[in-house]
Structure 1
Amino acid sequence: MVQVGVIGYVADNALTFVGGSVLGPNVLTIEYKINYVRPAIGGKIIARKTVISSGKRQAVCRCDVFVVKDGDEKVYATF
């Protein structure tokens, strides 16, 4: 099982990188909300991120974290 702080760290980094892809390298996280769906029990985690909306100074991004167990992916959390 993966500790929730580690998942938050992974998602925050993924969101910072995707935000930086549209805003440039000087990106800060303003806020994020975590919705945990199930326990993170599995072999590995995958963070998939996307930009929802982007302006000149702010981007709204989304990150879904998946847990992979025995080749099956399930949503663990969404940010």
Structure 2
Amino acid sequence: MVRASFAKQGMLQAIGARLVSIEPGQCRIDLPYSDAVSQQQGFFHGGAIGAIGDVAAGYAAYSLMPQGSEVLTVEYKINLVKAARPPLLLAEAQVLRAGRTLTVCRSEVFRVEGSDRELCAVLQATMMRVEPAVR
């Protein structure tokens, strides 16, 4: 269910994000550095950092929802705590509290190089369970 949904995320495909793992209440997404996600000083763009943090949180929430549900972000807050240098970002999200309609999640986004990890951003998000949209 999550992998099929992830494959439909056009923006994530365009920037090269990859679903690393999904478990109940947890999700990991990585993003290799490219010109598509860079900013003028050679770091990862803050928008790309927010995008993978948001999506990881969304899929962490989605993994706990009843079959046939969808998820939408209601709000998120992000703290960019360190400039994110290449080569790779990893967003790790977990559900903090799952409710019937609203689910609160936290994502941490790390810069990864080999076995080294540096925290670059922390994101807290509220997700809402919705009925599938008709397209």
Superposition TM-score, scaled by structure 2 size: 0.55
Does the 8 Å CA contact 1:37/1:76 hold for their aligned counterparts? yes
More strand by share: 2
Does the 8 Å CA contact 1:41/1:69 hold for their aligned counterparts? no
The match for 1:27 among 44, 54, 71 is: 71
Aligned length: 79
Corresponding residue for residue 58 of structure 2: 16
Does the 8 Å CA contact 1:11/1:63 hold for their aligned counterparts? yes
**Alpha-carbon separation, structure 2, partners of 1:39 and 1:48:** 18
RMSD of aligned alpha carbons: 1.2
Superposed displacement of residue 4, structure 1: 0.6
**Alpha-carbon separation, structure 1, partners of 2:108 and 2:90:** 8
Q: Relative CO higher for 1 or 2, CA cutoff 8 Å, sep ≥ 6?
A: 1
Corresponding residue for residue 62 of structure 1: 106
Superposition TM-score, scaled by structure 1 size: 0.91
Does the 8 Å CA contact 1:18/1:61 hold for their aligned counterparts? yes
Superposed displacement of residue 23, structure 1: 2.2
Superposed displacement of residue 12, structure 1: 1.3
- Which structure 1 residue ranges, 4+ long, deviate > 6 Å from structure 2? none
Instruction: Determine what percentage of the aligned residue pairs are the same residue.
Output: 34
Superposed displacement of residue 70, structure 1: 5.0
Gaps of 5+ in 2: 1-42, 124-135
Gaps of 5+ in 1: none
**Alpha-carbon separation, structure 2, partners of 1:65 and 1:15:** 11
Superposed displacement of residue 56, structure 1: 0.8
**Alpha-carbon separation, structure 1, partners of 2:54 and 2:122:** 11
